[in-house]
Each structure stands twice: as structure tokens, then as C-alpha cells.
């Protein structure tokens, strides 16, 4: 059994809320590359408070699903804590998290629920970068919420085509190298056909520029 040494916190909403403000998680290894079984076997769990708390909450000894949920939350925070956030913007965010209960609840629940829905850690990285973009003022909360719906549904095969389309003038092209990915992008609501042009809409452009590209996927 993993015992949390930091205030013995067992509520995941409290864990996530505090880490968003404290940014305590600093870990050299890429959490996304750590095997799920290592969440049980590796001694580093006992040495890092956030890992210890998340592992305790998800009871990582119980199932592979729980271990994967723990890993996705940790990948999220590894990406979030390594991102660039303007100091003044972060202070404003931290103040709002402390004083606006409705806002704090929306932010924290979005992070937890989406991470638990994701199959792969790549989306956890993208989500972290979208949160950073929101804090930096590049996304309103409404835009962020719209992008989380897209992220929840988009197929990972779309990432590369979005990268290719980002190099095209005005995000439009008459030649698409990956027809299945085009169909998946259209299904996600971030692209469409107009005459002979395939076009990525503004929401898709922001998903790539603010979420996928910073994650280096």
C-alpha cells in the first residue's frame, strides 16, 4: 500500500487543484515511457509526493486501468510544469483558482475526467498545453472547452495531417496524402471540403498550434 507523506491527501480533486498552483512535480524521466508495472515495482514512488498521492488515490496495485489513469495524470503534470507560462498570467490564474469555486471546479474536473477518458498519454500532453494556452490568455474558457471536446474525440492519426496542413497557405490544400486521416479530421469537426480544397478550420488550427505542436507529437 502506498501512503501519502504530503498531508495524506486522498481526494484527487484536491491533489490536482494544489498541483496546478504549486507545480511541485519535477521528474527527470519521461513518465510516458514508464511501464505500467513499474508503478508497483519501482521505488521512486515512495520518494515523490505527487506520484505517491496519485498512486494511492488510483490504487495502482489493483488494476492496469488504475495504473494507466495514474500515469496519464502524471504525464499531464510533467507537461504542464515544464511549459512556459507568463508569471503575471500564472499569478492571475492561481488567484482565480483560490477565490472562484466554480472556475476551480470546472478546471479541475475537466482535467481529471478527460485524462481518465483518454486511452493514450499523448492526449494528456495535448490537454496540458491547452491549459497552458488558456492561462497565457491565448484561449478563452469557451474556446478551451470547445477544444477539449475535439481532443476527446479526435483520432491520433490526425496529428500528422494537421502538421502537414499547418505548412499549407491558409491551412488549405487540393492534395491530401492521407485520405483516411482527412475523413477523421472532418468527423472531429475541425476540417471540411470546399470545392477542391480541404480546409482546416480555426478550431483545428488552434488545436495544432497550441496543443499538438508544443507536445512534439
Taken as a whole, the chain contains a residue count of: 217
Q: Which three cell numbers stand for residue 17?
A: 487543484
Average pLDDT over residues 133-160: 96
pLDDT of residue 58: 84
Q: Could you read off the pLDDT of 6-38 as tens digits, one per residue?
A: 445 568 999 999 999 998 877 656 665 666 566
The pLDDT confidence band at residue 195, using thresholds 50, 70 and 90, is confident
The pLDDT confidence band at residue 207, using thresholds 50, 70 and 90, is very high
CA–CA separation, 58 vs 120, rounded Å?
17
CA–CA separation, 20 vs 195, rounded Å?
45
Is the predicted pLDDT of residue 45 greater than 60, yes or no? Answer: no
Low-confidence winner among 42-46, 64-68, 203-207, 209-213 (lowest mean pLDDT):
42-46
1 touches 97 (CB < 8 A): no
199 touches 172 (CB < 8 A): yes
Nearest CA to 77 out of 18, 165, 154 is that of: 18
The pLDDT confidence band at residue 50, using thresholds 50, 70 and 90, is confident
pLDDT of residue 53: 87
CA–CA separation, 105 vs 208, rounded Å?
26
CA–CA separation, 39 vs 72, rounded Å?
12
Strands 197-200 and 191-194: antiparallel
CA–CA separation, 93 vs 75, rounded Å?
21
For residue 122, count other CB atoms closer than 10 A to its CB: 17
Is the predicted pLDDT of residue 154 greater than 90, yes or no? Answer: yes
Average pLDDT over residues 197-206: 96
pLDDT of residue 31: 64
Q: Could you read off the pLDDT of 93-139 as tens digits, one per residue?
A: 999 999 999 999 999 999 999 999 999 999 999 999 999 999 999 99
Pick the more confident residue, 112 or 3: 112
pLDDT of residue 2: 35
pLDDT of residue 23: 87
Partners of 173 in the β-ladder:
198
Nearest CA to 61 out of 38, 43, 78, 77 is that of: 38
Q: Taking the model in full, what pTM does it have? A: 0.89
Q: Could you read off the pLDDT of 163-193 as tens digits, one per residue?
A: 999 999 999 998 877 788 889 999 999 999 9
Average pLDDT over residues 213-217: 93
pLDDT of residue 43: 56
Is the predicted pLDDT of residue 84 greater than 60, yes or no? Answer: yes
Amino acid at each position: 500500500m502506498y501512503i501519502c507523506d504530503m498531508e495524506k491527501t486522498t481526494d484527487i480533486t484536491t491533489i490536482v487543484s494544489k498541483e496546478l498552483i504549486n507545480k511541485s512535480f519535477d521528474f527527470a524521466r519521461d513518465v510516458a515511457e514508464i511501464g505500467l508495472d513499474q508503478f508497483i515495482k519501482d521505488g521512486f514512488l515512495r520518494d515523490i509526493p505527487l506520484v505517491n498521492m496519485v498512486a494511492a488515490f488510483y490504487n495502482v496495485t489493483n488494476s492496469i486501468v488504475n495504473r494507466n489513469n495514474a500515469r496519464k495524470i502524471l504525464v499531464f503534470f510533467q507537461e504542464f510544469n515544464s511549459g512556459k507560462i507568463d508569471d503575471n498570467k500564472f499569478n492571475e490564474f492561481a488567484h482565480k483558482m483560490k477565490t472562484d469555486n466554480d472556475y476551480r471546479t470546472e478546471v479541475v474536473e475537466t482535467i481529471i475526467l478527460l485524462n481518465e477518458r483518454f486511452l493514450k498519454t499523448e492526449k494528456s500532453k495535448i490537454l496540458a498545453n491547452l491549459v497552458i494556452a488558456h492561462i497565457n490568455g491565448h484561449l478563452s474558457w469557451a474556446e478551451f472547452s470547445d477544444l477539449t471536446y475535439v481532443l476527446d474525440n479526435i483520432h491520433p492519426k490526425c496529428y500528422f495531417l494537421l502538421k502537414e496542413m499547418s505548412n499549407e497557405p491558409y491551412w488549405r490544400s487540393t492534395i491530401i496524402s492521407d485520405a483516411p486521416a482527412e475523413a477523421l479530421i472532418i468527423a472531429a469537426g475541425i476540417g471540411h471540403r470546399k470545392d477542391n480544397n480541404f480546409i482546416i478550420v480555426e478550431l483545428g488550427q488552434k488545436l495544432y498550434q497550441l496543443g499538438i505542436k508544443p507536445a512534439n507529437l
